Amino acid sequence: MRYNHVCVEAFGYSLPPQVVTSAEIETQLAPLYERFHLPAGRLELMTGIRERRFWDRGVLPGQISAQTAERTLAAAQLDRKYIGCLVHGSVCRDRLEPATASGVHHALGLPGSALVLDVSNACLGLLNGMILLADMIELGHVRAGLVVGTEMGRDLVEGTIDSLLASPNLSKQDVKLAFASLTIGSGSAAVVLCDRALSKTGHRLLGGAFQADTSSHELCAGDVAAQTHGDDRPRMQTDSEALLHAGVELAEKTWQKTKESLNWTNDNVAKAFTHQVGRAHRKLLYERLKLDPALDFSTVEFLGNTGAAALPLTAAIGIERGHVAKGDKVALLGIGSGLNALMLGLDW
């Protein structure tokens, strides 16, 4: 997968106002910790996540996405008449139909000629949106487009806490399967892509590779099951250890294909951004890919796992804070449950 005519004109992000620490979550889970003799501080110790953020109650993903997209379009300094496609790529959406992208499109006042759609693929939705849009630009179907998404972690975290405390027959295995749900945070990210001829930045999207291992699709599964849990908040079960090793195995294969596609070696990579899972994932991923962890920029410590927004949100913050310099070759290392991996290369 190679692109000759696609540029990344801007990354943008929004952060929720409410901060919830791992210590606060453990305080709520104190009866559970006493029951199973779990040490305080376990959540942060095992994941590296000291806090995550939540949006105010009642806010819809599309409302935040519209705000994030508006700021990102402004940063790109690109006339919105050129926007030929809008993709909303987060797991969270306003409703089953219409597409959340429809409301965002209306709020932004984008052209009626633009293709408007939602794309959902666990933690890879926004990256998938990027390559769909990049393909359209490369083929000349559109001149520019926007990918945006907003994840809302509050209901999953609070629903998980309530379920853990309310279950009379809870086992240690049940706690283990619910543990990853407590790492979830909220966030919003957007990316503007355009034809190279329109670009003011020259930040090129070079291409990359994708790979799937769907034999592992049940290792992390989330759903809304009111008949089981008594409410309409989502719940998730994750075999974290098996997911870690299967995900890194797939990442290693995908990284090799990415380097072949881009004609890169590890020495070409100046900076990298990954999906934000936790301390153990980051360590093992960089070990297996044989990349220096110093190339990485991390937000998981203060944002938690923000789903499909995690990688582009982290890239936006990293770029804002000077992690990337002009001329850097930048790797975007995406992995999502399913399992799917998508890795992209940028020439900044």
Comparing C-alpha atoms, which of 214, 178, 190 is closest to residue 133?
A: 190
**pLDDT confidence bin for 177, thresholds 50/70/90:** confident
- Catalytic site includes residue 220: no
d(CA 140, CA 265): 30
User: In the prediction, which pLDDT does 271 show?
Assistant: 98
Place of tokens 């609070």: 158
Report in angstroms the alpha-carbon separations of 152 from 64, 65, 67. Answer: 10, 11, 15
User: In the prediction, which pLDDT does 229 show?
Assistant: 60
Q: Among 43-47, 62-66, 72-76, 169-173, which is the least confidently predicted range?
A: 169-173
Enumerate the H helices of the chain as residue ranges. Answer: 22-28, 30-36, 42-47, 61-76, 100-108, 125-138, 154-166, 172-178, 226-229, 240-262, 279-289, 300-303, 310-320
**pLDDT tens, residue by residue, 108-134:** 999 999 999 999 999 999 999 999 999
User: Does the CA dihedral 229-337-283-240 come out positive or negative?
Assistant: positive
**Options 85, 92, 123, 220, the catalytic residue:** 123
User: In the prediction, which pLDDT does 226 show?
Assistant: 47
Comparing C-alpha atoms, which of 48, 30, 51, 47 is closest to residue 39?
A: 30
Q: Is the pLDDT of residue 93 over 90?
A: yes
User: In the prediction, which pLDDT does 225 show?
Assistant: 59
Comparing C-alpha atoms, which of 246, 272, 237 is closest to residue 341?
A: 246
Could you give the angle at the alpha carbon of 224 between the alpha carbons of 223 and 226, nearest 5°? 145
Average pLDDT over residues 228-240: 72
User: In the prediction, which pLDDT does 215 show?
Assistant: 86
**pLDDT tens, residue by residue, 283-328:** 999 999 999 999 999 999 999 999 999 999 999 999 999 999 999 9
- List, in order of start, the domains of the chain with CATH numbers: 204-347 (3.40.47.10)
Average pLDDT over residues 237-263: 88
d(CA 128, CA 212): 13
More confident residue, 202 or 175: 202
User: In the prediction, which pLDDT does 224 show?
Assistant: 59
- Catalytic site includes residue 7: no
Report in angstroms the alpha-carbon separations of 309 from 29, 195, 222, 304. Answer: 27, 23, 17, 11
